[in-house]
C-alpha cells in the first residue's frame, strides 16, 4: 500500500481514501450571522465540496444570482415541489418559503462528494431528525449588537423585520444542543472561520467510526 493512501487533505477529502464516507455538513445560524459570506470565501479558495443551492420564494436581493445564491421560485412553483416531495426539508421563515431540493444533495453524496448545505435553525432541526449523522455547525454572532449592525448594513429589512430577526436570533441560541460544533463568526475574520470549518472536516475524516448517511 502506498503512503498516499494515508495522506490527509484539510480542504475536505482524504487523498487516495476512496472508501471514505462523504460528509453532509449543515451550516446554520441566525439571519445575518454571515453564512453566505463564509460559503463565498470557501468557494473562492476552491475547497472540494458540493455547495447545495437551496430554494426560496423571497425576492432576490441586489447582486444575487438565480441558481447561484438561491433557486428563486414563485410560491406556486415552490408548492408544486412540496406536492411532488422534491424537498429534503422546507419551512416558512419570515413569511417566505425556504427548502433544500433533494436533487441538490442525494446525487453528490452517492458519488462520495462531501456536501455542504446552508439552512436556518428551523431547517437544521428538521435535518437533525432526518439525517442525524450529518455534521451540524452553528455560526454564532460575537454579540447581539454585532448582529444588529450587520442586519442594518444589509438594508433589506424594515425596522419591524429587524426587531423580529433579533428576537429570533436570541431564541435560536437556545438550539445549540442540536449542533455538533459552534463557531463565532467575526465579520472581519472570515479566513479564521473557514479554517475552523477545515479543522472540523479534518477531525471528522479521522473518526475511527465514520458517520454513515442514509438518504
- Per-residue pLDDT for 57 more than 80? yes
β-sheet bridge partners, residue 138 = 28, 182
- Per-residue pLDDT for 44 more than 60? yes
Q: What is the pLDDT of residue 168?
A: 83
Stronger pLDDT, 204 or 19, i.e. the higher one:
204
- Per-residue pLDDT for 169 more than 90? no
Instruction: Write out the CATH class of domain 20-205.
Output: alpha beta
Q: Write out the H or E segment, with its range, that includes residue 87.
A: strand 87-93
- Per-residue pLDDT for 1 more than 80? no
Domain chopping of the chain, boundaries: 20-205
Mean pLDDT of 149-176: 80
Dihedral angle over CA of 54, 57, 61, 63, nearest 10: 40
Q: What mean pLDDT is reported for the chain? A: 87
pLDDT digits over 133-150, tens only? 999 999 999 888 888 788
pLDDT digits over 88-105, tens only? 999 998 889 999 999 999
- Per-residue pLDDT for 63 more than 90? no
Stronger pLDDT, 9 or 152, i.e. the higher one:
152
Asked whether 100 and 215 are in contact (CB, 8 A), the reply is no
- Per-residue pLDDT for 79 more than 50? yes
Per-residue b or e along 125-162, where b marks 16 or more CB atoms closer than 10 Å to that residue's CB = bbbbeebeebbbbbbbbeeeebbbebbeeeeebeeeeb
Q: What is the pLDDT of residue 195?
A: 96
- Per-residue pLDDT for 82 more than 70? yes
pLDDT band per the 50, 70, 90 thresholds, residue 8: very low
pLDDT band per the 50, 70, 90 thresholds, residue 157: low
Residues 6+ apart with CB under 8 A from 17: 5, 205
- Per-residue pLDDT for 16 more than 50? no
Amino acid at each position: 500500500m502506498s503512503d498516499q493512501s494515508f495522506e490527509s487533505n484539510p480542504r475536505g477529502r482524504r487523498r487516495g481514501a476512496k472508501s471514505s464516507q462523504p460528509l453532509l455538513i449543515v451550516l446554520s445560524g441566525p439571519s445575518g450571522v454571515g453564512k453566505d459570506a463564509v460559503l463565498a470565501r470557501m468557494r473562492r479558495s476552491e475547497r472540494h465540496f458540493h455547495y447545495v443551492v437551496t430554494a426560496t420564494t423571497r425576492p432576490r436581493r441586489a447582486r444575487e444570482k438565480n441558481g447561484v445564491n438561491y433557486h428563486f421560485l414563485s410560491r406556486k412553483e415552490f408548492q408544486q415541489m412540496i406536492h411532488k416531495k422534491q424537498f429534503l426539508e422546507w419551512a416558512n421563515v419570515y413569511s417566505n418559503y425556504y427548502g433544500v431540493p433533494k436533487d441538490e444533495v442525494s446525487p453528490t453524496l452517492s458519488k462520495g462528494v462531501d456536501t455542504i448545505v446552508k439552512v436556518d435553525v428551523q431547517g437544521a432541526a428538521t435535518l437533525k431528525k432526518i439525517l442525524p449523522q450529518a455534521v451540524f455547525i452553528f455560526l454564532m454572532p460575537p454579540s447581539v449588537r454585532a448582529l444588529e449592525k450587520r442586519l442594518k448594513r444589509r438594508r433589506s429589512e424594515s425596522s419591524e423585520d429587524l426587531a423580529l430577526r433579533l428576537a429570533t436570533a436570541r431564541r435560536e441560541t437556545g438550539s445549540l444542543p442540536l449542533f455538533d460544533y459552534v463557531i463565532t463568526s467575526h465579520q472581519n475574520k472570515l479566513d479564521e472561520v473557514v479554517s475552523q470549518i477545515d479543522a472540523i472536516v479534518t477531525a471528522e475524516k479521522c473518526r475511527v467510526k465514520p458517520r454513515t448517511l442514509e438518504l
